[in-house]
Chain A
Amino acid sequence: MNWQAVGAIYRYEMARFFRTIAQSFLSPVLSTSLYFVVFGTAIGSRINEVEGVSYGAFIVPGLIMLSVMTQATTNASFGIYFPKFIGTVYELLSAPVNFFEIVLGYVGAAATKSLLIGMVILATATLFVDLTVLHPAAMVAFLLLTCLSFALFGFIIGIWARNFEQLQLIPLLVVTPLVFLGGAFYSISMLPPGWQTVTYFNPVVYLISGFRWAFFGTSDVPVALSLLAIAGFLLLCLAVVWAIFRTGYRIKP
């Protein structure tokens, strides 16, 4: 293992994040606060408890997931797309590193950043609602797995993208809708039966459900299924990344 290289990539990516620290944290904190004002306060006051939890608290796990998934995806995709775009990818390709080390550096950094943002949102949420986390260890585990797998997913997009439009397309057209429709702001049981069935094809449902269970002990799908889903997604992304490096897809003529 070339740990020096992993460290160099990781430090470089984190430096990029801290250079714009205000932006990095401000926008998620601001948008979360807005969600609380709009959903939690304005709408929530008209909604009774959902599954025994106040509506304001109920949306916290979904809100965190929404930010973490989009942040991990965009951070990792930009992280690897940028060197391709400006040509500095030559250094990665000519260095004595393997695919695992490159991925560890970029994905590790993107996962760390999104994890930090998730924590900040959680802290912000406690300013608006009373929260107790029932299963803290499970909560952290779900959060970590989500950060990691979506950072991997973003890495793949960054390699695949040929231009900035493509880079933004997937988070905008795929991740955000899947999260919104994945029960971030409602319980699946609130949907009519037909739509419930459709929803079960949305992988994000399993992640949000598991994450919410860690908070409140209630879930739309069994927790084991949630774990299985996230682990499956993680493995799938790993396999794709591995194939990318074996074939030099879109990085090596």
Chain B
Amino acid sequence: MPAIVETRGLTKVYGDGTEALKPLDLDIEEGEILALLGPNGAGKTTLISMLCGLVSPSSGQARVGGHDIITRYRDARALIGLVPQEIALEPFQKVWDAVRFTRGLFGQGRDDAHLEDVLRKLSLWDKRRSKVNELSGGMKRRVLIAKALSHNPRVLFLDEPTAGVDVDLRRDMWNMVADLRRDGVTIILTTHYIEEAEAIADRVGVINHGELLLLEDKQALMTRLGRKTLRIELRRPVEAVPGGLSGYDLELAEDGRSLSYHYDTQGEGTGITALLQDLSREGLALRDIHTRQSSLEEIFVDLVKGEDA
């Protein structure tokens, strides 16, 4: 199946010389949820803005649904819904009118039932007659999402959708993303909340300094780069790691009550069996053991730090 979004050598250099996106080849599969992670200024918004028509590419090509975004922009854009990073809404417009306006802009006829459905899902139905400037920040963001969904897009771009929003909205948003995914909508979201990528994405891309450093299936990524830690809690505290265990990469907690053992899940053997045998040979009695996998956050910080170094 061809990718629903493809870029080939896509770049952006702004008028002031800022190289916001280095040549990018990216394929996004239909129906997937792709999270683009990256610090501020990484180029995430620039990439989305080019795909949506807000910024002109400096070079390269991009296609959405097989349509070139420049030569066949009408077909390409008709498939796209965009929730921008900054809240931008006409203050005196009523919620209902705002959503209808967007649907019209995207060339679609009136469909009150669909708009009602969208507003209900976003808990906006009761507010449909309110003016936008009477709404809270979280509600305004919901209106932006409702506008983006008003014309049944096949590809939805969410640019930092949960930056600074409350827990309710974040939960609703994640539910909504799950619903849309069930309907086969492709979702590209940017975020710098790792937990968000971890919770909802199928694939994760990491961008820094306008460069895609990594693009990988989330599970594979976490397994590949994920280091596991085995934490061993001791019945009786010890002063130091016993000499017989010096061959292991062990870390003793300050209170002497637990040991941490780091190992690579991808390694030949984890060394856990031997370690446990050696622990009892040294006469250490164990109270409990548990393992922990490093999160995307740690992976991400490592990557970005590694690049900056």
Contact = CB atoms under 8 A, between A and B. Distances in A.
Interface string A90-106: 11111111100000000
Interface stretch (A3-11, A22-30, A55-63, A188-196): A3-11
A2 B97 CA distance: 19
B247 interface: no
B82 A90 contact: yes
B90 A252 contact: no
Interface string B223-253: 0000000000000000000000000000000
A15 interface: yes
A9 B105 CA distance: 7
Interface string A80-95: 0011001110111111
Contact of A95 (B15, B55, B93, B106): B106
A253 interface: yes
A9 B90 CA distance: 13
Main DSSP-derived SS at the A contact region: helix
Contacts of A8: 100-101, 103-105
Given A8-B101, A95-B105, A95-B106, A90 B78 contact: no
Contacts of A136: none
Contacts of B74: 2, 96, 98
B104 A94 contact: no
B257 to A, nearest CB: 55
B9 interface: no
B149 to A, nearest CB: 13
A91 B78 contact: no
Given A2-B74, A96-B73, A91 B105 contact: yes
Nearest to B89: A88
B77 interface: yes
Nearest to A12: B101
Interface residues on B, range: 35 or more
The winner among B92, B93, B101, B102 for most chain A CB atoms within 10 A is B101
Contacts of B283: none
Interface string B41-64: 000000000001111100000000
B82 A94 contact: yes
A232 interface: no
Contact of A252 (B55, B75, B76): B55
A90 B89 CA distance: 10
A93 B54 CA distance: 6
A90 B14 CA distance: 18
Contact of B109 (A4, A98, A248): A4
Contacts of A16: 92
Interface string B106-122: 11110000000000000
Interface size class of A (residues with CB under 8 A): 20 to 34
Interface in A207-253: 248, 252-253
Given A90-B84, A252-B54, A5 B105 contact: yes
B201 interface: no
Nearest to A89: B88
B34 interface: no
B107 A86 contact: no
A82 B88 CA distance: 11
Contact of B105 (A19, A92, A248): A92
A91 to B, nearest CB: 6
Nearest to A88: B88
Contacts of A83: 90
A66 B254 CA distance: 84
A253 B89 CA distance: 21
B147 interface: yes
A46 to B, nearest CB: 48
Contacts of A248: 56
Contacts of B217: none
Nearest to A8: B104
Contacts of A92: 105
17 contacts: A2-B74, A4-B104, A4-B106, A5-B105, A5-B106, A12-B97, A88-B88, A90-B82, A90-B84, A91-B105, A94-B82, A95-B102, A96-B73, A96-B74, A96-B75, A96-B76, A252-B54
Given A87-B86, A88-B88, 6 more contacts: A4-B105, A8-B103, A87-B84, A95-B106, A96-B74, A253-B55
Interface of B: 14-15, 52-56, 73-78, 80, 82, 84, 86, 88-93, 97, 100-109, 147
Interface of A: 2, 4-5, 7-9, 11-12, 15-16, 19, 82-83, 86-88, 90-98, 248, 252-253
